[in-house]
């Protein structure tokens, strides 16, 4: 058996599952006029199909039931008028095709109480609708039951999809690139000790060489040349040691005195860690705002991780598709509010206008958001035309 090409396995779930959900929805909606409670199951499928990011399939699923009922395609069914449950479920499927997909990530921020509440309200509305003797009131109760059922279907599908991340198709390169970057980080941490040893040897040899040069007779011109080379070796060794320190303390405090850890130090460490990833020298990174000096004794590493992820993504907005470079500025602004420190990342060109929209792969975005949630913070990716804001980080304050 030949192995399938890369990408076919990832696309399998994205093709089969949405089409199956659409067919099941169409079948349920065709019989919904005869049995209105069936529309609740169709609403659940509408919410689930929204998570799979298939607007074309959702639009076809929303259009198929009305067309099938209006046209004489199904003679065995009695000519019953469509119920409110039918139209509400069909409208929810249409919303699945029209609502922007960035709302999917909002579903992961909903608490478990919201999921339980949606399940309870949908069940209650459905039970009351079945028990009421009045057909009109029962039919109207199907509408809120459909709404809560659709939200429940989207939430549950979103959670279950992480058991098989291949379904969501994280990125064009799939999960392989994400896993490679994660493992590369672990490998790098293990190599830090091996890299530090040669640097220590070079630094000691350089110091011994400087001592020897001072005590032997050498012509002034040659001494000046050797001293210049010794200073250059010393400077490069110190820079390499500083880079190793950034690796070693990335995402940690890095300072025994917690009183020195604040928003400014976290952002400065993030800027230093990403300096090598700047595409060209015409990009400047600046800090501003009245919240830079806010102490971060607990969340310093989290803020550094979030800032590094935002900066790495933002630098990609200064390179056009044809490879030409854009001169501009990345501004990290920290503002103090009564309950949070709001850090916003802005990308601007030389004229102060917004640069090209940058893209962060969903896997990395989801991981950063989960790290932020564990520290009572928030991390959002803003993708709006004409606005310079690219990322917002809302950090909870410890001094209130």
Q: Using DSSP, state whether 330 is helix, strand or coil.
A: strand
Q: Locate the domains of the chain by residue range.
A: 8-167, 175-248, 258-396
**Token pair 């009245």 is at which residue?**
290
Task: Give the whole-angstrom CA distance, residue 151 versus residue 114.
Answer: 10
Q: Which residues pair with 378 in a beta bridge?
A: 394
Burial of 397 (0-12, 13-18, 19+ CB in 10 A): middle
CB 58 within 8 A of CB 19: no
CA distances from 226 to 200, 303, 316 (A): 20, 44, 42
Output the furthest CA–CA distance in the chain (Å, rounded): 111
pLDDT in tens, the chain (400 residues): 344 444 444 444 556 778 888 888 888 887 777 777 788 888 888 888 888 777 888 888 888 888 777 766 555 555 555 677 788 888 888 888 888 766 666 665 566 677 788 778 888 877 877 777 656 666 677 778 878 888 778 777 776 766 555 544 555 555 666 677 777 777 776 777 777 778 788 888 878 877 787 777 777 787 788 888 888 888 888 888 877 777 777 766 555 556 678 899 889 888 888 887 775 567 888 899 998 888 887 788 888 889 998 998 888 878 777 777 788 888 999 999 888 899 999 888 888 787 877 778 777 787 888 888 888 888 888 777 778 888 899 988 877 6
Rounded CA-CA distance 183/350 in Å is 38
Distance between CA 122 and CA 300 in Å, rounded? 42
Q: What is the pTM of this model?
A: 0.61
* Beta strands across the sheet bearing 328-336: 283-288, 328-336, 340-349, 389-396, 378-381
CB 310 within 8 A of CB 372: no
Helix, strand, coil percentages for the chain (3-state, nearest 5): 60, 10, 30
What is 258-396's CATH topology?
Heat Shock Protein 90 (3.30.565)
Residues 394 and 303 sit within 8 Å (Cβ to Cβ): no
Question: In sequence order, which residues have a C-beta less than 8 Å from that of residue 142 and are 6 or more positions away?
Answer: 36, 37, 39, 40, 83, 84, 85, 88, 125, 126, 129
The pair phi, psi for residue 68, each rounded to 5°, is -65, -30
């Amino acid at each position: 058996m030949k192995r399938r090409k890369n990408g076919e396995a990832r696309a399998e779930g994205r093709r089969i599952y949405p089409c199956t959900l659409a067919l099941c929805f169409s079948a349920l909606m065709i019989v919904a006029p005869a049995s209105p409670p069936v529309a609740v199951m169709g609403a659940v499928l509408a919410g689930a199909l929204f998570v799979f990011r298939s607007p074309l399939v959702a639009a076809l699923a929303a259009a198929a039931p009305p067309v099938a009922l209006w046209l004489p395609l199904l003679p065995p069914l009695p000519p019953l008028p469509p119920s409110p449950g039918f139209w509400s479920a069909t409208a929810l499927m249409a919303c699945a095709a029209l609502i922007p997909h960035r709302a999917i990530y909002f579903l992961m921020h909903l608490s478990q109480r919201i999921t339980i509440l949606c399940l309870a309200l949908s069940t209650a509305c459905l039970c009351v609708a079945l028990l009421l003797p009045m057909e009109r009131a029962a039919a109207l109760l199907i509408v809120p039951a459909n709404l809560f059922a659709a939200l429940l279907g989207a939430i549950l599908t979103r959670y279950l999809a992480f058991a098989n991340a291949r379904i969501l198709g994280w990125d064009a390169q799939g999960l392989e690139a994400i896993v490679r970057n994660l493992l590369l980080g672990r490998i790098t941490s293990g190599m830090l000790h091996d890299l530090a040893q040669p640097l220590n040897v070079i630094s000691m040899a350089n110091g011994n060489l400087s001592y020897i040069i001072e005590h032997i007779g050498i012509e002034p011109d040659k001494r000046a040349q050797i001293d210049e080379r010794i200073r250059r070796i010393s400077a490069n060794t110190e820079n390499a040691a500083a880079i190793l320190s950034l690796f070693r303390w990335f995402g940690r405090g890095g300072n025994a005195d917690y009183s020195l850890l604040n928003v400014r130090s976290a952002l400065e460490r993030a800027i230093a860690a990403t300096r090598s990833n700047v595409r060209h020298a015409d990009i400047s990174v600046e800090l501003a705002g009245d919240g830079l000096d806010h102490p971060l004794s607990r969340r310093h590493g989290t803020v550094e991780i979030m800032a590094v992820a935002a900066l790495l993504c933002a630098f990609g907005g200064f390179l056009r598709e044809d490879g030409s470079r854009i001169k501009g500025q990345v501004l990290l602004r920290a503002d103090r509010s009564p309950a949070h420190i709001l850090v916003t990342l802005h990308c601007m060109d030389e004229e102060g206008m917004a640069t090209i929209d940058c893209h962060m792969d969903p896997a990395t975005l989801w991981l950063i958001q989960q790290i932020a949630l564990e520290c009572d913070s928030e991390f959002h990716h803003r993708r709006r035309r004409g606005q310079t804001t690219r990322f917002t980080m809302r950090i909870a304050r410890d001094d209130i």
